[in-house]
Amino acid sequence: MISRRTNMSYFGSLWLAALLGLLAGCSFEPKLAVPKAPAVKTYTAGKQPQKIAAIKGVGKAGAPQQFVYGKRVESQWWKLYNSPQIELLVVKALKKSPTLATAKATLEVAHQQFKSVEGRFFPQFALSTTADRQRQSGAGFGGPTRTYSLYTGEVGVSYEPDIFGLNRLVSRSYKALEDQQRYSLQEAYLTLEGNTVVTAITLASLQAQVNTTRALVSGQIKILKIIEQQYKLGAVTYLDVVNQESQVAATQATLPPLEQDLATARHALAVLVGSIPSEANIPVIQLDSLKLPAELPVELPSVLVHKRPDILSAEAQLRAANAQVGEAVAQMFPLIQITGNLGFENGHLANFFDASSLIWSLAGGLTQTIFDGGTLEANKRAAQAALKGVVADYRTTVLNAFGQVANALRAVQHDAQTLRYEQAAYTDSLNAYKLARWQYKAGAVQYTSLLTAQVQYEKSRLAVVSAKAQRFEDTAALFVAMGGGWWPKQYQSSAMGSKKSASDVAKPAPGLVSRQSTAATQSGGPHR
């Protein structure tokens, strides 16, 4: 018959086991509340642009464009420009850029830190061996002097059951931080793609402006020669010659700044593709050879928040901060530790593994902070305040993303209008310039009329070149704003940690507690 004392002990053990099981299944992490995506269907204030009509007289830069709402952006969107040179530059940048190497290394650090935390879910084993030779004097115990050897070898094990879920929370936090670095790497890819394409277009634009300015100088010199000839014949005054010489010099003076900008763009492009400027083989890109993408995919607002790397990175940071609040709460609960040793100890190596040499120990302990001057409570409040800040940062990131898309949509729309007007102004100024030249040769107008028409024509011609390039650049900006980009498959999602983590597999049997709490670290407070 079972005694009353034994019966109570038995049921007490059951209650304790049930309590520990209940605690192991609970979590102090607050429910994750990711702010909802803005409940809007459009990005811009007012009616969104739908279609851009063709612009005559400007070549491929005047091609019509259609906004396709709800269509996904192609991953290798830069190929839509139909430029082998730009494609070559982007591929080279993705292969050699040191910025990507830095981002990849940072991700690897985050991944290994997460794996390090995962290892704490399992018992820690340590092997220790000692060999000791001692001589003891007999004066202390009235016997002869003794000299002997002692050999010890044992395996120690320590295990801290994660009863209150601290390790699971730490693991989730580190996993979220790893995800944040993965999305930051994706953002680095996207930024590099966009910067390479835009810089290449800028380079082509500046080269076209340099070529145009040189052509203008050549045309002005021809006019100068005509005026000089007329002056020799007495048809014009010397003032006309001086004015034309001044105009030639003024136009020539605009070449060095343009050539400096051209060199700067070329050097910047060399750095983007991971080369030293003196060794970079930057291909020549003709602005008029670029193709303007006919379709402009525009992701839906509800899709954008789940695609743009910067938003996903902010969300991962939010998950990390949320877990850190739970860490700070779990730090307040007891730490349970189980330790044990098993080995052999003998004075003679030949008898080392005898049964009489067997040694072992087993111990269990519980540590609970009674008074800490409010440190743990302050850490919890700091983690909660940090979470509020991260939530605000997430909302800011989403707002900035939507603002960037809205700006890009309007920019593409207004660029077309600008190019249309600039082309019309150029056509009118060209006709006026031709007419002024004919009338001047015929003696029907003064030189001042020719000079005015000439200056206006030159400004309009350069303005058209800039307006063409702006259409190509802002189209690229729209693709980037949509989060379209290419990155290797292993960085597309949580591929590096796609397998179930130990924190998920071992929930019924949680592991060691990490006292290096991220929450305490960020709050600046001491670890428990």
Domain encompassing residue 405: 23-121+175-335+382-499
Whether 128 is in a domain gets the answer: no
Whether 223 is in a domain gets the answer: yes
Put simply, whether the predicted model's pTM sits higher than 0.95 gets the answer no
pLDDT of residue 481: 94
Query: 126 with 341: CB under 8 angstroms?
Result: no
Q: What are phi and psi of 412, to 5 degrees?
A: -60, -40
Whether 376 is in a domain gets the answer: no
- Pairing relation of β-strands 146-159 and 335-346? antiparallel
Number of domains, the chain: 1
Whether 340 is in a domain gets the answer: no
- Rounded to an integer, what distance in angstroms lies between the CA atom of residue 363 and that of residue 403? 61
pLDDT along the chain (528 residues), means of 10: 46 47 61 84 91 94 94 92 95 94 94 89 89 78 77 89 86 93 94 96 95 91 89 88 92 95 95 92 92 93 91 94 91 88 86 86 88 90 94 95 95 96 95 91 84 90 95 96 86 53 38 34 36
- Closest C-alpha among 170, 488, 154, 101 to residue 344: 154
- Rounded to an integer, what distance in angstroms lies between the CA atom of residue 482 and that of residue 308? 7
pLDDT of residue 167: 86
Report residue 444 as tokens: 């029907």
Whether 131 is in a domain gets the answer: no
Residue 366, SS3 per DSSP: strand
CATH of the domain at 245: 1.20.1600.10
Whether 62 is in a domain gets the answer: yes
Report residue 216 as tokens: 């203008």
Whether 92 is in a domain gets the answer: yes
Whether 270 is in a domain gets the answer: yes
- Pairing relation of β-strands 51-52 and 124-136? unpaired
- Rounded to an integer, what distance in angstroms lies between the CA atom of residue 424 and that of residue 418? 10
